[in-house]
Amino acid sequence: MISNGAIKEIISDFEIIKSFPKSGQKSVHLVKNKNEQLLILKVVSESDERVKREIDIVTQNKISNVPKIISVNKIEYEGELYLLIFEEFIQGETLKERLVKEKLTTKESMKLLESLLKICVELEEIGVVHRDIKPDNILIRKEEFFLIDFGIARLLNDKSLTMTQAKMGPHTPGYGAPELFQYSKKNIDSRADLFSIGVVVFESITGTHPFITGDERDVNQIWYQTVTVTPKHYIIKGDTASQLIGFIMTLMQKHITRRPPSAKQAFEWYKAIVPTIIY
146: nearest Cα among 42, 58, 224: 58
195: nearest Cα among 112, 145, 240, 134: 134
Distance CA 235, CA 124 (A): 31
pLDDT at 163 over 50: no
Q: Do 15 and 27 meet the contact criterion of CB atoms below 8 Å apart? A: no
**What's residue 185's pLDDT?**
77
Helix (H) or strand (E) holding 34: none
- Write out the residue limits of the CATH 1.10.510.10 domain(s) in the chain: 93-276
Distance CA 195, CA 175 (A): 8
**End-to-end C-alpha distance for the chain, whole angstroms:** 50
- Banded model confidence at residue 243, pLDDT cuts 50, 70, 90: very high
Residue type at 107?
A: K
Distance CA 257, CA 149 (A): 27
Q: How many CB atoms lie within 10 A of CB 68?
A: 11
* Among the four given CATH numbers 3.30.200.20, 3.40.630.180, 3.10.450.50, 3.40.1360.10, the one describing domain 4-88: 3.30.200.20
Q: Give percent above pLDDT 90 in the chain.
A: 73
pLDDT tens per residue, range 125-144: 999 999 999 999 999 999 99
**What's residue 165's pLDDT?**
47
pLDDT at 116 over 60: yes
Q: Do 42 and 85 meet the contact criterion of CB atoms below 8 Å apart? A: yes
Locate the DSSP E strands across the chain.
15-19, 26-32, 38-45, 69-77, 80-88, 93-94, 128-129, 138-141, 144-147, 154-155
Distance CA 119, CA 82 (A): 30
- Write out the residue limits of the CATH 3.30.200.20 domain(s) in the chain: 4-88
Q: How many CB atoms lie within 10 A of CB 22?
A: 12
* Residue 3 backbone phi and psi in degrees, to 5: -75, 160
CATH superfamily label, 93-276: Transferase(Phosphotransferase) domain 1 (1.10.510.10)
- Banded model confidence at residue 118, pLDDT cuts 50, 70, 90: very high
**What's residue 164's pLDDT?**
47
Distance CA 189, CA 156 (A): 7
Q: How many CB atoms lie within 10 A of CB 40?
A: 19
Among the residue ranges 45-49, 79-83, 172-176, 272-276, the one predicted with the least confidence is 45-49
Q: How many CB atoms lie within 10 A of CB 20?
A: 12
Distance CA 149, CA 95 (A): 14
As a whole number, the mean pLDDT across the chain is 91
* Residue 91 backbone phi and psi in degrees, to 5: -80, 115
Distance CA 182, CA 187 (A): 10
